[in-house]
Amino acid sequence: MNSFKGLRAAAAGAFLAVSVLLSAAPTVRLKDIATLQGIRGNQLVGVGLVTGLAGRGDSSNSALLRNAVANLVSNFGFRISPEEVRSRNCAVVSVSAEVPPFLRPGASIDITVASLGDARSLEGGVLLQTPLKGANGRVYALAQGQVFTIGEGSGTRTVGTIPAGAIAEQEILSTFVADSRLSLVLKNPDFLTASMVAGAVRQAFPDIQVSPRDAALVELEIPEPLRGDPVGFIARLEAVQVTPDPSNKVVIDAASGIIIFGEQVRIGKVAVSYKDVSVKVGAPSAWRAEENPDKPEQFTLQENTTVEQLVDALRTVGLDTETVIQLIKAIDKAGSLYGTLVIL
């Protein structure tokens, strides 16, 4: 018996590192669970030339490279045909960036560079000035600088970054107010949370018109006295305190053995057996199996028990993390997990 108690203590200590309970949802600021519709980042892309690769660039018979080099030098008064280009020190690359909302001219942007040809490595190369365009074809930034590759060791290094490698040339603004109306988009769509958001906004601004449209969208109209200062109104709106609906998810990362579960997730009536371990959920009278005093690993849990209680029961019998994860998956497939199972 002492050895069994020791096993229980060791198992409980081990599971503290791999299971996390999401307690009842706290009261949070509105800005922490929702964003304003229209405020978003933008993607820019371009095609450029990386030089100084010391024989590690695209092969000299690459038509793409020859045309790129010929076009480049022609901008500076040199007249050569693509067929005359014989260089392995250059590589044609794609240049991409994601810019934040409200981009202003002069802002620095991190960029990613990736080989388009058969270059062996971009490490140490220099990206020549490259225009970056938006989806509308307009140039919004210029990129240039030394490439730092992402690969490790002696592996292929054909993708790299240039921190602050682009400078914004045009502003990219976001439109978030239309006819004195705003739209809030919930980060985690949920009908109960959308209703709670609407209620909290009405309480903070009694004269406001608020309309929850669906599980993700809440529309509202700026009160007339505050329409002259939309930024000030939004600042007050984002500070409104809201209590979102608690999570109903069980998230499992099998690779690391992490189990995260919401407090609202329940287990229905079900019997779980694994080798010499037996865990039963439901009223004891519903199970006719005879109790065996020689097997202290047998448990009966009340119906509508929580995932936390189930995991605690499995802890006490010393089941390893992988087995617990497989049992939770099986319970979900049996239709007795009242929540959403997410496998990473």
In sequence order, what are the beta bridge partners of 305? 267
Residues 48, 158 share a domain:
yes
Q: Is residue 217 within 8 Å of 184, Cβ to Cβ? A: yes
User: How many domains are contained in the chain?
Assistant: 3
Residues 19, 50 share a domain:
no
Instruction: Return the H-helix or E-strand segment holding 139.
Output: strand 139-146
0.75 cut: is pTM over it?
no
In terms of residue numbers, what domain contains 123?
A: 42-168
Residues 111, 226 share a domain:
no
Domain boundary among 168, 198, 222: 168
Q: Is residue 245 within 8 Å of 25, Cβ to Cβ? A: yes
Strand 19-22 and strand 258-262: the pairing is parallel
What does pLDDT average to over the chain? 81
Domain containing residue 204: CATH number: 3.30.1360
Q: What share of the chain is helix, strand, coil (3-state, %, to 5)?
A: 25, 35, 40
State yes or no: pLDDT of 5 exceeds 70: no
**Confidence at residue 2, expressed as pLDDT on a 0 to 100 scale:** 44
Residues 132, 62 share a domain:
yes
Domain boundary among 140, 168, 196: 168
User: Which amino acid makes up residue 127?
Assistant: L
State yes or no: pLDDT of 268 exceeds 50: yes
Residues 303, 189 share a domain:
no
Question: Tell me: the pLDDT tens digits for 237-259?
Answer: 999 999 888 777 888 887 777 88
3-class DSSP state of 270: strand
